[in-house]
Amino acid sequence: MSRRPVQVGFAGVSAEWLDDELATLQRQQRMRVSAVFDPTPAVGALGAQRLGATHCRGFLQLLRSSSVDALVVANPGWMGWHTVLQAVRLGLPTLFVASRLDDEAFFDVQLPDTIRLETAVSYARGTGGGFLMPGLPLRWLPVTIRVRELTATALGAIEQLEVDAPGLALRSRSLAELVDWSLSIVQSAPASVQVHTTAAGMEMVLQCRRRRSNGESVSVVLRGLRQHRSGDVAEADVQFEAHGACRHGDFQLAAPFQIRHSIGRTAVDEKLNADRSSYDIMLDLFGRRLVGGLVPVPDFVDLLRARNLVVSAIQSLDHKEPIPVSEEGLGA
Residue pLDDT, tens place only, 86-133: 877 788 899 988 877 888 888 887 665 555 556 666 666 665 567 888
Q: How far is CA 234 from CA 37, 74, 106, 241, in A?
A: 24, 16, 10, 19
The reply to whether CATH 1.10.150.130 applies to domain 6-137+278-298 is: no
DSSP H helices, 100-214, are 103-106, 111-114, 117-124, 142-152, 173-186
Rounded CA separation 279/286 (Å): 10
Instruction: Tell me: pLDDT of 303 over 70.
Output: yes
Q: Where in the chain is the domain with CATH 3.40.50.720?
A: 6-137+278-298
- Going through 172-265 in order, the beta strands assigned E by DSSP cover 190-198, 201-211, 217-225, 241-246, 250-254, 258-263
Question: What average pLDDT does the chain have?
Answer: 87
pLDDT exceeds cutoff 50 at 324 = yes
- Residue span(s) of the chain under CATH 3.30.360.10 come to 138-275+309-324
In angstroms, rounded to a whole number, what is the distance separating the alpha carbons of residues 240 and 219?
18
Residue 231's pLDDT is 66
Residue 229 has phi, psi (to 5 degrees) of: -115, 145
Q: What residue type is assigned to position 207 of the chain?
A: Q
Average pLDDT score over residue span 279-284 = 90
Q: What is the pLDDT of residue 332?
A: 42
Q: Which fold has domain 138-275+309-324?
A: Dihydrodipicolinate Reductase; domain 2 (3.30.360)
- Asked if 98 and 124 count as a contact pair (C-beta separation under 8 A), the reply is no
Rounded to two decimals, what is the model's pTM? 0.90
Residues 131 and 109: their CA atoms lie apart, in Å, by: 24
- Residues present in the chain in total: 332
